[in-house]
């Protein structure tokens, strides 16, 4: 099982960023994919979940309207787009896998997103 | 907004036992919160150590155990090793959303 994320990004305030998470080694539609972020020196923060089998999503209220998770079943890839970037969005963004019902296991290696003018 | 609370820091001696806890502002934590525990070392992604309160992965050392204790989720390390020094985060499912605790920095001294 592997979750391989795209490379580091540098963006200006107000722009958008799109991070990918490519899954391999298992049946893509069997597991949910979450995105989690970690600002420098801070804790983990949940950004949302996508269910690859049907594309349905759920986001915490804080990020509704700013985070969009999509999936491409032909390439077993999940995308996380974050819009209207601010400096406090600077963080490492991770994807992680969950089998329905709280069975969390594998994580991606993380993608550093830096927001700076 | 649900707040999940962990001890900010704990210190344990090598070979000792330590328990980390995870409380929810909504009330007692039960198995229905699907408690999970993650270990994170500097510069690395989190690693899932415990899920569904007490279940272990193949990579989880036997000295790690999860439970419910006094209305909280708990992670106990018995026979602590130097390599257990890390940040530990709990995660709870609350009303369809997932909420992380603030993390516990565990020092092994």
Q: What is the pLDDT of residues B12-21, one digit of tens each?
A: 999 999 999 9
**Mean pLDDT of the residues in chain A:** 97
- Residue B54's pLDDT is 98
pLDDT band at A5 (very low <50, low <70, confident <90, very high): very high
pLDDT at A58: 97
What is the residue-averaged pLDDT of chain B? 97
pLDDT value of position A10: 98
Mean pLDDT of A18-37: 97
Q: For residue B51, what pLDDT is reported?
A: 98
The answer to whether A39 touches A91, Cβ cutoff 8 Å, is yes
Helices (runs of H) and strands (runs of E) counted in chain B? 0, 11
The per-residue pLDDT for B39 is 98
Disruptive mutation site among B43, B48, B66 for chain A (greatest number of A CBs within 10 Å)? B48
φ and ψ at B32, to 5 degrees?
Answer: -70, -10
Task: List Cβ neighbours of B34 (8 Å cut-off, separation of 6 or more).
Answer: A101, A102, B51, B52, B53, B92, B93
CA A89 to chain centre: 13
Neighboring chain B residues of A58 at a CB cutoff of 8 Å:
96-97
Check pLDDT > 90 for residue A94. Answer: yes
Average the pLDDT over B62-74 and give the result: 98
Query: What residues contact A76, with CB distance under 8 A and at least 6 apart?
Result: A22, A23, A24, A28
So what's the pLDDT on residue A100?
86
Average pLDDT over residues A16-45: 98
pLDDT at A45 over 90: yes
Q: Under an 8 A CB cutoff, do B52 and A103 touch? A: yes
User: Is residue A60 predicted with pLDDT exceeding 90?
Assistant: yes
Which positions in chain A touch B99 (Cβ < 8 Å)? 46
Which of A104, A105, A111 is the best residue to mutate to test the B interface, defined by the most B CB atoms within 10 Å of its own CB? A104
Task: Report d(CA A36, CA B81) in Å as an integer.
Answer: 28
Question: Over 90: is that where the pLDDT of A101 sits?
Answer: no
Q: Quickly count: other Cβ atoms within 10 Å of residue B40's Cβ.
A: 18
Q: Mark yes or no for CB contact A106/B34 under 8 Å.
A: no
Bridge partners of A96, per DSSP, are: A34, A107
Q: Looking at chain A, which runs of residues are DSSP E strands?
A: 2-5, 9-11, 17-24, 32-38, 44-51, 56-58, 67-72, 77-82, 91-99, 103-107, 111-115
> Over 90: is that where the pLDDT of A6 sits?
yes
Q: Inform me whether the C-beta atom of residue B1 falls under 8 Å from chain A C-beta atoms.
A: yes
CA of B45 to nearest chain A CA: how many angstroms apart? Answer: 6
Place of tokens 């210190």: B11
CB contact A41 to B (< 8 Å)? no
| pLDDT of B50 above 90 | yes
Percentage of residues in chain A having pLDDT higher than 90: 98
- Residue pair B107/B9 in contact by the 8 Å Cβ criterion: yes
């Amino acid at each position: 099982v592997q979750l391989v994320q795209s490379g580091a990004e540098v963006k200006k305030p107000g722009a958008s960023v799109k991070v990918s998470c490519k899954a391999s080694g298992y049946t893509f539609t069997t597991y949910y994919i979450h995105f989690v972020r970690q600002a420098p020196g801070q804790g983990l923060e949940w950004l949302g979940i996508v269910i690859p089998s049907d594309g349905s999503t759920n986001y915490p209220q804080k990020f509704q309207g700013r985070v969009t998770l999509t999936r491409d079943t032909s390439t077993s890839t999940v995308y996380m787009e974050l819009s209207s970037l601010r400096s406090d969005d600077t963080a490492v963004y991770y994807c992680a896998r969950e089998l329905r019902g709280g069975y969390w296991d594998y994580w991606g290696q993380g993608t550093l997103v830096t927001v700076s003018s | 907004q649900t707040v999940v609370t962990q001890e900010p820091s704990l210190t344990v001696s090598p070979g000792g036992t330590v328990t980390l806890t995870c409380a929810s502002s909504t009330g007692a934590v039960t198995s229905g919160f699907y408690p999970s525990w993650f270990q994170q070392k500097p510069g690395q992604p989190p690693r899932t150590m415990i899920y569904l309160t007490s279940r272990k992965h193949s990579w989880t050392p036997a000295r790690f155990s999860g439970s419910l204790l006094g209305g909280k989720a708990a992670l106990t390390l018995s026979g602590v090793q130097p390599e257990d020094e890390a940040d530990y985060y709990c995660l709870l499912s609350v009303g369809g959303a997932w909420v992380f605790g603030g993390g516990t920095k565990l020092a092994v001294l």
